[in-house]
Amino acid sequence: MTVPKTAAEAKQLVDKLWSYCHVLRHDGVSTIDYVDQLTLLLFLKMAHERASRTVFGGTEVIVPVHLGWQTLLDAGGEDLKADYENILDKLGEKPTTALGLIYHGAENKIRNASTLRKLIVDLIDKVDWSSTGVDIKGDAYEALLEKGAEDVKSGAGQYFTPRPLIDAMVRCMRPRPDDTIVDPACGTGGFLLAAHEYIQRNYENELTKEDAEHLRNGGISGTELVHDTARLAQMNLLLHGIGEPGGDALIEVTDALAKPGKRATLVLANPPFGRKSGFSSVDEFGKVTREDVSYVRTDFWVTTSNKQLNFVQHIAKQLTINGRAAVVVPDNVLFEGGQGETLRRRLLQECDVHTLLRLPTGIFYAGGVKANVLFFDAKRARPETPWTSKLWVYDFRTGQHFTLRQNKLAAHHLDDFVSAYLAPDRHEVNDERFRCFTYDELMARDKVNLDITWLRDPDEDGDELPPPEVIAQEIVEDLQIALNEFAAVAEALQLAAAERNVSSAPGRVSQPVD
């Protein structure tokens, strides 16, 4: 078997696997589905490899032999499809386990038996995945997810946060072995993996047996609303040695906002950017209505249908005393009035909101995103005195131009911010992008608006225009925002038309709408 020895060889392997995705498209398999299908098969192959080697005098049996990789290799013709689909059904019977979560509800979307066999025999079986090392397995897997996110039509970008941003946030938060780390909107698990890698790298010689057990089984966990995405996250964790296949699933598939979350000392998150949650319905009289979902939770500061505001207060309540959070939020969380203003006042009062990073455009796979990273610590109740004394704002947006291809965000672009964040005395940081605002100054702003900028964009002086590819990307992002607004109008018009045209219905039918 071929064993990749370097990251370059791992990339070649990914490119080879990805090239096969174009073949599968002829079978109706989408980009994100291909990553999903590949994930299911990769785990079976790795389980087979581990069962074939001796570990501490015995073998490591993860998947029953009759449901394993060899069954697929031995199957012929149309039997391959039937055998594979039987494996998917049997392994998914216990969805509360890590293995069960991965395979629960899994479907074989590769309908052509010969195509399936080529994927199994000619590609996956040619590599000894267990011998490549965790880093190469992780790099290969994450590269596949990133390629899926780059395909705009697949919609996968909404589940993927750029790795340089994740790493910068983790470097600032400096996870510890005793932390309980949670992501309430974990997508494919990028933040959880980065935190685990940071701990492994910085505490390698200090980890106790108890620390290792804590990190492996419960110290790192997440919540994800979409089951297919949760499956990818759970697989991602297992590929990196987090959790046990037969143990409890570390990714909970549920609406994180519906109930108080697992208590955490560290929360890292990039919640979904959609403005509202809701559903449309047709009642027994044919009336069509659109209902926005507001989460009525006694621990929340405000009741609202705005998902971003809800995630901020959900995370604030999820933290233990002195727990830390780094959360990606869109601009509207910083300036929205009404309940948004109330939330900001309560957050500044009851938490130490110490840092805000203004992010540039062009770094997210989902277009039209203007976002920030909000850093805050939870504190004990102290009604008489606000916990926030100073908010340090780092403006990494003004004058910055990134695109997903020609000028892609890299780790070094955020080094100055990380250095400023970690400075022993921030007042000694000599960086015009880093500025401090006192609590009183924040309270004096209209609606406690935290969307603060003081730098002048050099492009506004007319001396120099951004490169053509940057201008084109900005136009694309502006158009995407406009399209999103038109989509909302179109949805409202469709509902109105349905209400006029539907004269009767046998009963009430509800259909979720993202």
* 492 against 268, higher pLDDT: 268
> pLDDT tens for residues 93-121?
999 999 899 899 898 988 888 888 988 98
Contacts of 189 (CB under 8 A, 6+ apart): 183, 222, 232, 233, 234, 236, 237, 251
Number of DSSP helices (H) and strands (E) in the chain, helices first: 17, 14
- Checking if the pLDDT of 459 tops 70, the result is no
Q: Based on the fold, state whether residues 322 and 465 are members of the same structural domain.
A: yes
Spatial distance between the Cα atoms of 374 and 330, rounded to a whole number of angstroms: 10
- Checking if the pLDDT of 184 tops 70, the result is yes
Q: Where residue 338 sits, what CATH number does that domain have?
A: 3.40.50.150
What pLDDT is recorded for position 491? Answer: 62
Spatial distance between the Cα atoms of 28 and 500, rounded to a whole number of angstroms: 36
When pLDDT is averaged across residues 208-226 and rounded to a whole number, the result is 93
Say which amino acid occupies 393. Answer: V
When pLDDT is averaged across residues 429-448 and rounded to a whole number, the result is 97
What pLDDT is recorded for position 404? Answer: 74
* 244 against 322, higher pLDDT: 322
Spatial distance between the Cα atoms of 12 and 6, rounded to a whole number of angstroms: 10
* 24 against 64, higher pLDDT: 64
Spatial distance between the Cα atoms of 240 and 136, rounded to a whole number of angstroms: 10
When pLDDT is averaged across residues 374-379 and rounded to a whole number, the result is 98
What's the per-residue H, E or C state across 11-71?
HHHHHHHHHHHHHHHHHCCCHHHHHHHHHHHHHHHHHHHHHCCEECCEECCCCCHHHCHHH
Q: Based on the fold, state whether residues 278 and 145 are members of the same structural domain.
A: no
Task: For residue 327, tell me if it sits in a domain.
Answer: yes
Task: For residue 398, tell me if it sits in a domain.
Answer: yes
- Checking if the pLDDT of 460 tops 90, the result is no
Query: Count of domains in the chain?
Result: 2
Q: How many residues does the chain have?
A: 514
Domain termination residue (choose one: 131, 154, 177): 154
Q: Based on the fold, state whether residues 275 and 405 are members of the same structural domain.
A: yes
Task: For residue 173, tell me if it sits in a domain.
Answer: no
Residue 469: pLDDT band (50, 70, 90) is low
What pLDDT is recorded for position 278? Answer: 45
DSSP for residue 121 = I
Beta partners for 351? 378
Task: For residue 73, tell me if it sits in a domain.
Answer: yes
> Domain range spanning residue 278?
271-504
Spatial distance between the Cα atoms of 397 and 457, rounded to a whole number of angstroms: 9
What pLDDT is recorded for position 4? Answer: 47
Within 240-361, residue ranges assigned H as helices are 307-318, 332-335, 339-350
When pLDDT is averaged across residues 138-151 and rounded to a whole number, the result is 61
Domain termination residue (choose one: 154, 182, 197): 154
Residue 432: pLDDT band (50, 70, 90) is very high
Apex 130 CA angle, 127 and 136, nearest 5: 80
Q: Where residue 131 sits, what CATH number does that domain have?
A: 1.20.1260.30
How large is the angle between the packed helices 134-150 and 7-24, nearest 10 degrees? 40
Task: For residue 193, tell me if it sits in a domain.
Answer: no
* Strand 434-438 to 390-395 pairing: antiparallel
What pLDDT is recorded for position 441? Answer: 97
> pLDDT tens for residues 46-59?
778 877 765 444 55
Contacts of 444 (CB under 8 A, 6+ apart): none
For the chain, give the mean pLDDT.
Answer: 81
Domain termination residue (choose one: 123, 139, 154): 154
What pLDDT is recorded for position 370? Answer: 87
Spatial distance between the Cα atoms of 257 and 225, rounded to a whole number of angstroms: 10
Apex 83 CA angle, 80 and 84, nearest 5: 80
Residue 33: pLDDT band (50, 70, 90) is confident
- Checking if the pLDDT of 236 tops 70, the result is yes
- Checking if the pLDDT of 383 tops 50, the result is yes
> pLDDT tens for residues 250-300?
999 999 999 999 999 999 999 987 655 443 333 333 443 444 567 889 999
Task: For residue 211, tell me if it sits in a domain.
Answer: no
HSE, side-chain direction, 13 A CA sphere, residue 296 = 1
When pLDDT is averaged across residues 180-207 and rounded to a whole number, the result is 93
Residue 511: pLDDT band (50, 70, 90) is very low
Q: Buried b / exposed e across 349-388, counting CB within 10 Å, b at 16+?
A: bbbbbbbbbbbbbbbbbbbbbbbbbbbbbbbeeeeeebbb
Residue 219: pLDDT band (50, 70, 90) is very high
Task: For residue 362, tell me if it sits in a domain.
Answer: yes
* 209 against 232, higher pLDDT: 209
Spatial distance between the Cα atoms of 187 and 282, rounded to a whole number of angstroms: 31
Contact 335, 341 (CB under 8 A): no
Task: For residue 426, tell me if it sits in a domain.
Answer: yes
- Checking if the pLDDT of 472 tops 60, the result is yes
Task: Choose among 75, 85, 140: nearest CA to 108.
Answer: 85
What pLDDT is recorded for position 369? Answer: 75
DSSP for residue 123 = I
Token code pair at residue 60: 């490591």
Share above pLDDT 70 across residues of the chain, in percent, rounded to a whole number: 73
Q: Based on the fold, state whether residues 135 and 284 are members of the same structural domain.
A: no
Strand residues in 102-245 grouped as ranges (E): 181-183, 220-224
When pLDDT is averaged across residues 54-66 and rounded to a whole number, the result is 64
